[in-house]
Structures are given as C-alpha cells and as structure tokens.
Structure 1
Amino acid sequence: MSSFATFLVGYVVLVIGLAIAASLLGVETTWIAVGVIVLLGIGIISATNRTKPRDPPPPSTY
C-alpha cells in the first residue's frame, strides 16, 4: 500500500471517529456532514502534499 493510501485510510478513520463523537454529543447531522466533507478535503490536500516528489535542489555554482 502506498504512503498516500495509508495516510488517507488513517485520516478517514480519524474523521469517522470524530463524526461519531459529534453525533453522540448531539450535533445536528447537517453540521456533521459539512465537517466530514471539509476534513476529507483537508486530508486529500495533506496526503498529496506529503507524498508528492520533492524538486531536486538546484545545481551548485561553485
């Protein structure tokens, strides 16, 4: 499994746990759905930034 997939699986588990906790606290379903969508978007952006290849450093001019 790639590091991108591993990061996303862990993040989805976290989001599900937070959604269940919010439900148990009595938060409205609409707000839980909004929070889940926002958190999943943040997770995809974070996973992409963490796993994309870095640009090589510029060659030395010395």
Structure 2
Amino acid sequence: MSFALYMIGFLIFLAGVAWGASVAGVPTLYIGIGALIILGIGIFSAVARTRSKDPS
C-alpha cells in the first residue's frame, strides 16, 4: 500500500472523527488539539507501514 493512499484514508477517518466531535458539542480548541495528535499518529504509522525493508 502506498503512503499517499494510506494518508488519504487516514485523513478521511480524521475528518469523520472531527465532524462527530463537532456534532457532539466538543469545543473547537479540543477538536484541533485532538486532530493534530491523531494526524501525528497517522503519519508515524503510515511511514512505518509503507517503509521499504532494508536488505539483509
């Protein structure tokens, strides 16, 4: 799976979580902070999953 495809999926997930939090009445500041944290986790996991393995 490519990095771009993984990130597109993760961004769709992040948008859904942020929208759900907004509808639930969570303050915008907390949504922004949570979104940044989730985005960072997404980038770390995308790099880990799509990184090519080093030849031994």
TM-score range, shorter chain: over 0.9
Name the counterpart of 1:16: 15
* Higher RCO (Cα < 8 Å, 6 or more apart): 2
Amino acid corresponding to residue 41 of structure 1 in structure 2: G
TM-score by length of 2: 0.93
Name the counterpart of 1:4: 3
Structure 2 gap segments, 5+ residues each: none
Name the counterpart of 1:60: none
Q: CA RMSD for the aligned pairs? A: 1.1
Structure 1 gap segments, 5+ residues each: 58-62
Q: Equivalent pairs: percent with the same residue?
A: 43
**1:49 CA displacement:** 0.4
Instruction: Confirm whether residue 49 of structure 1 aligns to residue 48 of structure 2.
Output: yes
2:25 partner SS: coil
Poorly superposed stretches of 4+, deviation over 4 Å: none
**1:54 CA displacement:** 1.1
- Distance in 2 (CA, whole Å) between partners of 1:35 and 1:55 is 33
